[in-house]
Amino acid sequence: MSAVALALALQIVSPLAPPTPAAVDTTARNAAAAAATAAQQAALAAAVACKPGMTVPPMEVVGGSAGSGDACRLDNAVQPRISRTVSGTTVAGGTGAVTWPAMTSIPRLTVTPYVASNASQAPMCFPVAGSVTTTGATVKCFTSQSVTVSILGAVVAPVTTAAAGVTFDVLALPTS
């Protein structure tokens, strides 16, 4: 082979020829970066053990429970309430009906009416028997009367009358 032919043969790059050191260095760096990115993603996925849940959080229950699963609560999720609070005013006859958003079917509710009053004999309010449902109740309010007994002076007698115009608040809770 002549010197010219040998020089030309050395300039031809064969597809089977080994890569240059620069090409090997770039390929190794790309592979290392890809492996590092995959490792970072795996570590991040492991750190975030739960995925955001897309359902309404369960209603609170008396006693609670630890729960299970791997869903997290979203920041703007709102848990349904187990209790209801409403206000009402009595009409003639001392009754007042109140309603609230429906509760799930429960065996029994405790309905407690409250009256804020500065009167020396504040009205007393009670739920009307048989009127309490998962969506409301009827309340009846009474006022006590004081009577004067000549020997004892003014005393509160057990005589009560229906109180119209009484503003009351109701707290409804499932019994525990």
Residue-wise pLDDT for 21-35, tens only, equals 555 566 666 666 666
Pairing mode, strands 51-52 and 95-99? unpaired
Are 52 and 72 spatial neighbours (Cβ–Cβ below 8 Å)?
A: yes
Count of domains forming the chain: 1
Report the C-alpha gap between 139 and 81 in whole angstroms. 22
Q: Is residue 162 part of a domain?
A: yes
Asked if residue 27 is part of any domain, the answer here is no
Q: What is the pLDDT of residue 1?
A: 55
- The pTM of this model reads 0.55
Q: pLDDT value at position 21? A: 57
In this prediction, residue 49 carries a pLDDT of: 65
Q: For residue 16, is it within any domain? A: no
pLDDT of residue 48: 63
pLDDT (mean) for 116-143: 87
Q: Is 47 exposed, middle or buried (0-12, 13-18, 19+ CB in 10 A)?
A: exposed
Q: What is the pLDDT of residue 115?
A: 87
Residue 157's domain spans which residues?
84-174
- Torsion angle (degrees, nearest 10) of CA 94, 99, 103, 109: 0
Q: What is the pLDDT of residues 43-58, one digit of tens each?
A: 766 666 677 778 877 7
